[in-house]
Amino acid sequence: MVICLMAMHLDNLKAYPFAELAARLAEWGQKPFRARQVYRWIYARGATTFEEMTDLSRETRALLAERAMLPTLELAHESVSADGTRKYLFRLPDGETVETVWIPEADRTTLCISSQVGCAMGCRFCLTAQGGFTRNLESWEIVEQVLAVRRLAPPQPPITNVVMMGMGEPLMNLDSVVPALEKLVDDQGIGLAPRKVTVSTVGVIPRIPELGARAPYVNLAVSLGASRDPVREALIPVAKGWRLGELMAACRAYPLPPRRRVFFEYILIKGVNDGRADARELIRLVHGVRCKINLMAYNPSPGLPYERPDPETVLAFQKMLSDAGLRTIIRKSRGQDVLAACGQLRRAQEQGLPLSVC
């Protein structure tokens, strides 16, 4: 309890954008270049203590330790899949938990991070939604998922891509998401290429232009759910206020950098949205949008009434889109033996269930 009370009076340096960090250190009598040193130690080098910052004087390190802190996320559980995927359950300072997934592939290593504790969107096929919404993540909690996994995962291959496709709806937390994105792509910070960072939304139409205005350098991904409004509304209840035609208009107006595309994520669910009529309507729907379509067969979740389509159905769906001239790939489901679908690991822990399905 004493430690907690002491921590409440310490400045969390990870909570500050660089300009605010520099201002705070200047208030403490530090020269301007110290801010860049501290910033690089936190984000580029992943320091978790001030003692690690060896190019700072002992006096400066002592002052920082007296006045500031560098909080980290507690690892609550780690699962390693047979396919190499690693899923992490992190405990936040208030005891809540979020999920992060590390996915190594032949040409890249992707980290899927969360932006909220729980989710308010209510998607019927997503286990995260079944637990409801708890709170937004703070900006530092979003970035810390990347730093924590860099400490925990194998150093090779390094993380090359980050996608906000974990727990939560990023566009409902833009005031935390945008500062986090800035640190992810800052050459002096995490240092990811902007084209390797993607923000995924279920289609919060009013916030899409805001993302384009505040972070135009990252990729936009839209989880469609279905190609027809009635089916989409049955799967995603909030879509009743965000019709597909209006969503496509927002995507057409999105400020795409040259050679960039909007990514449409389409999860194929057996007997729900995987038919030929669904494919034909999807072709019509995305006409005029510079896009790429990522298909994924549904990853079943315990307690949800949806099934995975057979491989032949998935291939036939892809062929119809490709024959129509749409760039379409099939994303392989990863980590099914370690509950890698969003929300599974957190729900299992909350209910005292086994933390794998092996």
| 72-78-80-81 Cα dihedral, nearest 10 degrees | -110
Over residues 280-290, the pLDDT tens digits come to 999 999 999 99
Domain ranges of the chain: 2-69, 74-350
Q: Which region, left, alpha or beta, applies to residue 208 given φ > 0 means left and ψ of -120 to 50 means alpha? A: alpha
pLDDT at residue 179, rounded to an integer:
98
Mean pLDDT along residues 29-42: 96
Residues 340, 324: Cα–Cα separation, whole Å: 32
Over residues 334-351, the pLDDT tens digits come to 666 655 555 565 555 555
Confidence at 354, pLDDT banded by 50, 70, 90: very low
Residues 164, 181: Cα–Cα separation, whole Å: 10
Over residues 313-326, the pLDDT tens digits come to 999 999 999 999 99
Residues 210, 206: Cα–Cα separation, whole Å: 8
Q: Please say if the pLDDT value at position 358 is more than 90.
A: no
**Would you tell me which CATH number, out of the four given (3.30.420.40, 1.10.150.530, 3.40.50.1000, 2.40.110.10), belongs to the domain 2-69?**
1.10.150.530
Residues annotated as catalytic are: 99, 342
Of the candidates 293, 236, 241, the one whose C-alpha atom is nearest the C-alpha of residue 265 is 293
Length of the chain: 358
Q: Please say if the pLDDT value at position 332 is more than 50.
A: yes
- Contact (Cβ atoms closer than 8 angstroms) between residue 333 and residue 114: no
> What is this structure's pTM?
0.91
**What count of other Cβ atoms lies within 10 Å of the Cβ of residue 282?**
26
User: Which CATH topology does 74-350 take?
Assistant: TIM Barrel (3.20.20)
Over residues 155-180, the pLDDT tens digits come to 889 999 999 999 999 999 999 999 99
Over residues 205-257, the pLDDT tens digits come to 999 999 999 999 999 999 999 999 999 999 999 999 899 999 999 999 999 99
Residues 321, 328: Cα–Cα separation, whole Å: 7
Q: Please say if the pLDDT value at position 39 is more than 80.
A: yes
